[in-house]
Structure 1
Amino acid sequence: MALDTPIFLRELVVSTAIFLFTYIVIRFINSKFTHRLPPGPRGWPILGALPLLGSMPHVSLAKMAKKYGPIIYLKVGTCGMVVASTPESAKAFLKTLDKNFSNRPPNAGATHLAYDSQDMVFAEYGPRWKLLRKLSNLHMLGGKALQEWADVRVSEVGHMLQDMYVLSKRNEPVVVSEMLTYAMANMIGQVILSRRIFATKNNELNEFKDMVVELMTSAGFFNIGDYIPSISWMDIQGIEGGMKRLHTKFDVLLTKMLEEHKASAYGRKGKPDFLDVVMANCDNSEGERLDTTNIKALLLNLFTAGTDTSSSIIEWALAEMLKNPSILKKTHEEMARVVPKNRRLLESDIPKLPYLQAICKETFRMHPSTPLNLPRVASEACEVNGYYIPKDTRLSVNIWAIGRDPQVWENPLEFNPDRFLTGKNAKIDPRGNDFELIPFGAGRRICAGTRMGIVLVEYILGTLVHSFDWKLPDNVRELNMDEAFGLALQKAVPLSAIVVPRLPPNSYVP
């Protein structure tokens, strides 16, 4: 049969038009999911950008942000990672898209240190995480709970001052990090277990401090096995082996704590501590139940983060004040107007000490305890500032870079507490709502200990400054301000200083 050419041509044109129209519509519909990725470095074969991060990833990523922009994308091994380095970009991820980035990616730290993510920090966002968070807030970290254990803070700070007073009479230097670890571990021990963990500063305390620092350091490493899972079994850097050995040490310590706590239950009748409350309320309405592993993992969170992050901020603040004696002098002058020299500083004095509070904020800005927020992961593909963010992309917010952004802060490398006393910065608060200053993160996965951290930093720093004059040892000509990268940003060289009492001797009695 002869082919009807006009009909054939018409059908061909119609079919072609339908095909083109369909193709264009599909391209248009999919266009919002096919936007280009954020800019970033090309990286190396297989390893991607891992070698570009160096030993100080927060610094390397800040330099990349200056070159590529506020949102950068890196291929790290087989994984994608997006980094936000400005207040606006951090807000886009941690507020606007908070729910999509509410989970943690799998990593060796969660597996080997945190009982396979059975803790509060690394737990999947869901009923168990909510139960852990609720119990922690109600009975230890929330405002009412903090008021209830205010006497514990006073007592343990008193023990620390007494030890420092003894050293001052011998003209021996105070190693600040050791003193703070001793005090904070005992504070947390009294709240959680109704007892001091370390009766004296001894080898057990030093080992505990070393364990905490090692945990924070190793958990902050960029472990190749996390980004190239197929070779994780090789443990090329030796990180996972170290984590396993460290976990065994912590597990022995935590198991001992639980056993001793159980054995002493009779003596606490009528006055339950945090662990009693947790064990009595380890169910929720959604059928979630905490087991012994969850409880040990939670204790690990509270003891390590509770002792390390706040102590590092206080140490950095004291170092900056020793480096800038005029700031220390101005702080003493403010305190002289508010706090009598015949007694120790009280927590109720702090609202009347705006310069002290400004010093704390300035330290949070320049020396955030977590320079890179704990990583999150995209549950679904999304779009940020016109850039396509694929599903399973890991998110890091460079808190350190935000605090040193010259577009946000005038003279950002200068330690200047006055910037928080007047103008727009006077209203900035570090609790996660002002993205110019988010030392504890923001959003639903903000650090659970934010409120406690601020209370401890302001009270302990204020007490140390009010109680003593501070100076460097005679053999120290220049203060080392180098950083040591980890989950918490430590001083590379621990601060050691000579203290001179400013109060009557009875002020240094617990």
Structure 2
Amino acid sequence: MMSYTLNFLRLYYSLVLYCILSLLLFFVFMIIKSIRYHHLMNMNPKIPKLPPGPKPWPIVGNLPEMLASKSPSEWIHKTMEEFNTGIACIRLGNVHVIPVNCPTIACEFLKKHDADFASRPKTMATDIISNGYLTSVLAPSGQQWKKMRKIVAKDLLSPIRHQWLEGKRNEEADNLMFYVYNKCKDGDLVNVRIATQHYCGNVYRKMFFNTRYFGNGTKDGGPGVEEKEHVDAVFVLLDHIYAFSASDYIPWLRLLDLDGHKNKVKNAMKIMNKYHDSLIEERIKQWNDGSKNVEEDLLDVLISLKDANNNPLLTTKEVKAQTIELMMAMVDNPSNVVEWTLAEMLKQPNLLEKAIEELDNIVGKERLVQESDIPKFKFLNACARETFRLHPISAFNPPHLSMNDTIVGNFLIPKGSHVLLGRTGLGRNPKVWTEPYKFQPERHLKNDGQDISLTEPSLKFISFSTGRRGCPGVKLGTTMTIFLLARLLHGFTWNIHPNTSKINFDEPLKLVAKPRLRIDLYNF
């Protein structure tokens, strides 16, 4: 027993000594690297400087300031305001983080130097969520990313597939009407966040698993326990996917999980896998044993893809990882845009009246809104654009990883930098937008009568981004967003509760809704 204890203590102290020596070597390496960089800068003033930013501490950079703030995103924006700059450099550990709030510089990154910034950084959360970077959005630049992006763009989100799946989207738009109508009939307040998020979840489940519910659902058309758990898990993943975790900048901290992010991501993934894995495995079995040979949804498409030798193009792990990533991509923006747009319209009733007038002029009151109506809704599209600008789903776009030392905006962007395009910073930039904090859809209306798109190639705000890492699902995202908004506004009147003096934007939007169309249009 004594011998075992001594051996254990020797091993323990050896590991401690190893960790201490490793940290010391790391610190020495970082100090030498920092000294060499500043020496080169002093010796050759022609070398472009880094963008302006706070002076970093040795080794840890600006991590102490970031971690001391209540919100890392707000701290970054405040820092940029203090330096009065549209591009900054904030060192977190050994990583140069480059936030950008200037559309001209943003376009330089994603247009002029798009190839140099077409990769993604590796983080704790993205590694877990993508099952080791097997997916299209989260994978770093390379063959796997090219393969998966091609599949998503060509085989899943192509115009042909979009048209093929229109019936499934219509079913869920009809079910949304049925659900909200039943809430009205029962005299309940409508939780707009639940309605919009679960419409998106329903569309996803119908498009990938050909079902609305994982369980029995509810008689009123709303989500059951399983669907609530499923969607809640997705938003946990979205909250943590590129969160500012110290362990992503000082990797050895991942062993400690100081901020608890790793545990939350793993728990959310267990929920996702609980609902997805058995369905995917059973479907693969059906295709392998020949009991299924007709594509009915996008899961069938993924499973039935073949390579040049007529073997399955994707592994089971790739199918599972990509289905989770696409769920994350489908639920956030449409639900966020519709909830915020409705809230802003209630603050300015004239906007709500104008939207209803447009809907009634185009659709009338004898039928429901259809997808074919969407291009005609100029004011509604302008409202959605304004919400993307003023109320983005997150403060920053997913980061771009610099694959080379690059000069952008006359600044040096070192290889390995994380470039963050500021959704709020770009959309609320006072140098670009007049009255940037005021909701004004009219600023997006065109005088030439052309259709209004939700995309913004000039990056004055971010909806679907652009370049190699731009969203391939623009058509689907636009359709879901405007279809959802139009159905809710056309089908119901909306008011805050009489006992509520004003809308609390920190809580889910709960409203009084009443049907405004013929009753038979709500029964499916």
Instruction: Report the TM-score, using the length of structure 1 for normalisation.
Output: 0.86
- 1:230 maps to 252
Which structure 2 segments of 5+ residues have no match? Answer: 1-39, 218-222
| Match of residue 52, structure 2, among 39, 46, 58 | 39
> Is it true that 1:391 corresponds to 2:415 in the alignment?
yes
Distance verdict in 2 for CA 1:139–1:503, change over 3 Å: farther
Contact 2:123–2:248 (Cα < 8 Å) also in 1: yes
Contact 1:33–1:383 (Cα < 8 Å) also in 2: no
- 2:280 maps to 258
Distance verdict in 2 for CA 1:50–1:506, change over 3 Å: farther
Deviation at 1:241, TM superposition (A): 2.1
| Match of residue 474, structure 1, among 498, 507, 516 | 498
Distance verdict in 2 for CA 1:324–1:59, change over 3 Å: farther
> Is it true that 1:70 corresponds to 2:94 in the alignment?
no
Q: Distance in 1 between matches of 2:248 and 2:449?
A: 39
Deviates more, 1:157-166 or 1:181-190: 181-190
- 2:189 maps to 173
Deviation at 1:141, TM superposition (A): 2.0
- 2:73 maps to 58
- Bigger RCO (CA 8 Å, 6+ sep): 1
Contact 1:431–1:451 (Cα < 8 Å) also in 2: no
Which structure 1 segments of 5+ residues have no match? Answer: 1-26, 483-492
> Is it true that 1:205 corresponds to 2:227 in the alignment?
yes
| Match of residue 436, structure 2, among 395, 412, 418 | 412
Q: Distance in 2 between matches of 1:256 and 1:408?
A: 50
Aligned pairs for 1:110-189 within 5 A: 110-189=126-205
Distance verdict in 2 for CA 1:173–1:81, change over 3 Å: same
Deviation at 1:389, TM superposition (A): 1.3
Show CA shifts across 1:173-221 (max 9, x none). 1112222232222222222222223452211122112211211112242
Deviation at 1:437, TM superposition (A): 2.8
Say which SS state the counterpart of residue 502 (structure 2) adopts: coil
Distance verdict in 2 for CA 1:256–1:121, change over 3 Å: same
> Is it true that 1:333 corresponds to 2:357 in the alignment?
yes
- 2:513 maps to 499
Deviation at 1:385, TM superposition (A): 1.8
Query: Which of these two proteins has the greater Rg computed from alpha carbons?
Result: 1
Q: Distance in 2 between matches of 1:403 and 1:459?
A: 24
Deviates more, 1:432-441 or 1:149-158: 432-441
Q: Distance in 2 between matches of 1:426 and 1:420?
A: 12
AA at the equivalent of 1:155:
E
Q: Distance in 2 between matches of 1:313 and 1:213?
A: 15
Deviation at 1:117, TM superposition (A): 1.4
Distance verdict in 2 for CA 1:380–1:31, change over 3 Å: farther
> Is it true that 1:96 corresponds to 2:112 in the alignment?
yes
Please give the root-mean-square deviation of Cα atoms over the aligned residues, in Å. 2.5
Aligned-pair identity (%): 29
Contact 2:346–2:495 (Cα < 8 Å) also in 1: yes
Distance verdict in 2 for CA 1:43–1:317, change over 3 Å: farther
> Is it true that 1:218 corresponds to 2:240 in the alignment?
yes
Distance verdict in 2 for CA 1:268–1:173, change over 3 Å: farther
Deviates more, 1:227-236 or 1:41-50: 41-50
- 2:11 maps to none
Contact 1:58–1:398 (Cα < 8 Å) also in 2: no
Deviates more, 1:276-285 or 1:160-169: 276-285
- 2:472 maps to 448
Deviates more, 1:306-315 or 1:403-412: 306-315
Contact 2:230–2:271 (Cα < 8 Å) also in 1: no
Distance verdict in 2 for CA 1:145–1:36, change over 3 Å: same
Deviation at 1:330, TM superposition (A): 1.1
Contact 2:202–2:212 (Cα < 8 Å) also in 1: yes
The number of equivalent residue pairs is 472
